[in-house]
Structure formats: structure tokens, C-alpha cells
Amino acid sequence: MNDVSLLRDSLDAISGIVNEATFEFTSNGLGLKAIDPAVVAMTILKMAPSCFDQYDLGGDVKLTVNLDYLLEVLKRVKPSDKVIIELIADAGNLKISMIGNLNREFKIGLIENPDKEQKVPAPEFSGQIIIDNNVLRDAVKNCQMVSDCATFSASPEKFSISASGDLNNVVHDLTKDSPYLKELSVLSEESSKYSLEYLEKIIRGDKVSADTIIKFKKDYLLQVEYKTPDKLSLIFILAPRVEND
């Protein structure tokens, strides 16, 4: 790869959810599915072969690594570096070479692949909302000032993110005429609460796309997707915050 930013920025967001990850390399590209230990959030990454300057496989490959360490290695890449990622199966490691004015080489030990494959839920939604990244980023930061969860609300005419505390509250409203609202295809009124702790981790993925695609329903899963057309899809699925009566 002559540019590792898409991979590095995606893994930076994913590392907020899990610290170990299993990558699957196939003819369709790189794939990753991971669920956090608390079973509250899941992430799905798909990178097409077009994300790479060269993509060679002898066959399908599945490997598990410490995500935090892999990310630290990728953060050492300089803008002018060419990066080569190779599986050294006999040695049980992943070799990452950085070729530039100064050549460097890192070897990352592989972890035993998990016995069980992560099952991806197939949530059903009736519509979607597409907003400018800064809307969700600002809403999360502002809602954290008053609460530990945010309420997502949508109707055919408006999308809102709000939070309420004992004394204070904050509301972010986007109507159909807002330039920050790229799409609002919601058929009925929906409202659901989600953890701001997890949302703060999820918004780290917005570096790979200019827009945020949001899908949710009343007291149901939230899906946040960042997409680079024909190259990458980074999806986060978050369980709702259901309050006990």
C-alpha cells in the first residue's frame, strides 16, 4: 500500500471496541467482524482489493492479531512510505515492511484463531438518515455534558439527537432543509436511546468518509456506517439503552 490511511483509520475506530481481531483475506478483499466483550457493540469492516496497490493471495487466509499493537505499528508509517504486509505462515507472524528513506520492518505474532465465527446480525430498518460527520461528532460531545446516553429521534420531517440530565438538557435538530442532512427516508416516528460511551468510540470511524449513514428504530439496534464508494465499508451496530421501569 502506498497509503495506509483507510486501513489505519478504520482500525483506530475498531480498537475502541475490541483489542484482538480476526482478519479474513479472500478474493473479495479484507474482511473483519468483531464483537466487544460486553456484547453491546459489533463492528464489520470490508475493504475491497482496490484499497491496495497490490493484493496477492495464494488462497483464503484467516489470521488473528493484537489489534492495539498492529495499530501502533501502522501509526509509525510516514506519508512517503510504501507499506508491504506479508503473512509468514511458517514463522507464525505478520511482517510489515515500511519502505522509504529509512526502511523498517515489524513482525507481529499471530494469535490462535477463535473456534467460533462471529455471527453478524441482520437488523431490519425501514429507512435511513445520512448526515454530515460533524453533526454526530458535535452531538456526542455536547450530549456527554449532561448525560451518559443520547436519544435518537426521527420523523419524516426531522432528525434529532438529544440528552437530558437532572438539571440540564441539549437538543440537536436537523430539518429537511438543512444542508447537513443529506437524506431522511423515515416512514414513521422513531426514538431510541444509546450509550454515549460507545458512540464516542464509534465516531472515530468518520475519518474514512465525509458522511455518516444512520439506521435505527424504536428501542432497537443502531447501525452507523462510514463508506468510501467502491473501496470500504465500516459498520458499527450498537444495542439500545433500555431503561427498566
Question: What are the extents of the domains in the chain?
Answer: 5-109, 128-227
Residue with the bigger pLDDT between 126 and 14: it is 14
* CATH fold of the domain at 128-227: Proliferating Cell Nuclear Antigen (3.70.10)
Backbone angles phi, psi at 185, to 5 degrees: -120, 75
Q: What's the distance, Cα to Cα, between the start and end of the chain in Å? A: 53
Closest CA to 192 of 149, 138, 130: 149
Residue 245 pLDDT: 42
Residue 128 pLDDT more than 60? yes
Q: Burial letters for 27-43: b for 16+ Cβ neighbours within 10 Å, e otherwise?
A: eebbbbbbbbeeebbbb
CB 206 within 8 A of CB 133: yes
Residue with the bigger pLDDT between 242 and 201: it is 201
Residue 244 pLDDT: 55
Residue 118 pLDDT more than 90? no
Cα dihedral 201, 38, 117, 55, rounded to 10, equals 20
* Domains 5-109 and 128-227 fall in the same CATH topology: yes
**Distance between CA 187 and CA 202 in Å, rounded?**
26
pTM higher than 0.85, yes or no?
Answer: yes
Bridge partners of 158, per DSSP, are: 175
CB 94 within 8 A of CB 110: yes
CB 49 within 8 A of CB 55: yes
**Three cell numbers written together for 126:** 425501514
DSSP percent split of the chain into helix, strand, coil, nearest 5 = 20, 40, 40
* CATH fold of the domain at 5-109: Proliferating Cell Nuclear Antigen (3.70.10)
